[in-house]
Amino acid sequence: MSNRLTELKENYEVIQERINKACQKAGRQASEITLIAVTKTYPAIDVDLLQQLGIENVGENKDQEASAKKLEVKEQFKWHFIGQLQSNKAKSVVNYADLIHSVDRISLVKELQKSAASINKQQEVLIQVDLDQRGPDPSRGGIWPAELLDLAGLISQSSHLQLMGLMSVAPLGEEPGPAFERLSLIRADFLKFHPQAKILSAGMSEDLEEAVLFGATHLRIGSALLGERPKIG
Ligand SMILES: *Cc1c(COP(=O)(O)O)cnc(C)c1O
């Protein structure tokens, strides 16, 4: 086994152990949880190695990097687009993303619908919810919870978009537990109107335990699996 594969395997085992423990504590089954390996900044060769660990889902946050990497990767994965998405990148992302996690505004819904219709694809999407209580901040992404149901309604009416659930990132400067607890309440209300949209994408390397406790179905794990990313900028 290559050194890199051994390293990834060891990291993956630690994460699986953390998920198992968190599930036990929450009275959940580990089989309810999908791990998405966030491969941003890491090369296609690492992505291909993940297949040998049985990882089937990978996530990227920038279109330019993701679209190039998708062409280089040899193995089959389900591709998740998890980053803030500019409307002018919608067309490109629809070409390769199986699930887009970061839908957060009307203009983007319209662009995604148009792009998906043009290639006759049913595009699966999540709505990103902004959990920051200090007020909306357009630079960070996510819709304000009060506007969630209107956006969900628009997606439901879009012929080429499938609303699959919600996504969120714990706000900076706050404990993740209370933030994910608020998310679980927002989600309970949302599910009354969109009962089929059961995915909850929440939890990253640092806060996966809290996310599992409050109902996450999809974890987005980068550094704990692939290693610390070099700081950019
Ligand atoms: C980078 C990123 C992650 C993974 O973060 P880690 O802390 O490295 O696990 C998860 N979600 C989003 C939206 C990201 O951009």
Q: The domain that contains 213 carries what CATH number?
A: 3.20.20.10
Would the pTM of this model clear 0.75, i.e. be above it? yes
* Among the listed residues 115, 114, 81, the one whose alpha carbon sits nearest the alpha carbon of residue 97: 81
Ligand 1 centroid to Cα of residue 75, in Å, is: 22
Residue 90 domain flag: yes
Give the closest residue (by CA) to ligand 1 atom 7.
205
| 161 beta partners | 123
Q: What is the mean pLDDT of residues 33-47?
A: 98
The mean pLDDT value of the chain amounts to: 96
For residues 38-53, average pLDDT: 98
Chain-centroid distance of CA 87 in Å reads 18
Q: What is the pLDDT of residue 147?
A: 96
Does residue 200 line the site of ligand 1, with CB under 6 A? no
Asked, for residue 233, whether it belongs to a domain, the answer is no
Residue 139, domain member (yes or no): yes
Structural domains in the chain (count): 1
CA-closest candidate to residue 146, choices 155, 156, 136: 136
**CA-to-CA distance for 17 and 225, rounded, in angstroms?**
13
Instruction: Name the residue with tokens 């920038």.
Output: 62
Q: What is the pLDDT of residue 178?
A: 97
Say how far apart CA 219 and CA 211 lie, in whole Å: 8
Does residue 232 belong to any structural domain of this protein? Answer: no
What pLDDT is recorded for position 232?
Answer: 62
Residue 84 in contact with ligand 1 by CB distance below 6 A: no
Residue nearest to atom 6 of ligand 1 (CA): 222
For ligand 1, is residue 141 a contact (CB within 6 Å)? no
For residues 179-207, average pLDDT? 98
Confidence check: pLDDT of 209 > 70: yes
Contact predicate 170/176, CB 8 Å: yes
Whose tokens are 């296609």? That residue is 44
Instruction: Find the mean pLDDT for residues 111-133.
Output: 97
Report yes or no on 227 lying in a domain: no
- For residue 193, tell me if it sits in a domain: yes
The domain containing residue 141 runs over which residues? 3-222
116 lines ligand 1 (CB under 6 A): no
Domain membership of residue 228 (yes or no) is no
- Assigned domain for 170 exists: yes
pLDDT at 140: 75
Alpha helices in 143-175 (DSSP H): 148-156
Pocket test for ligand 1, best of 82, 100, 201, 231 (most atoms within 8 A of CB): 82
176 CB within 6 A, ligand 1: no
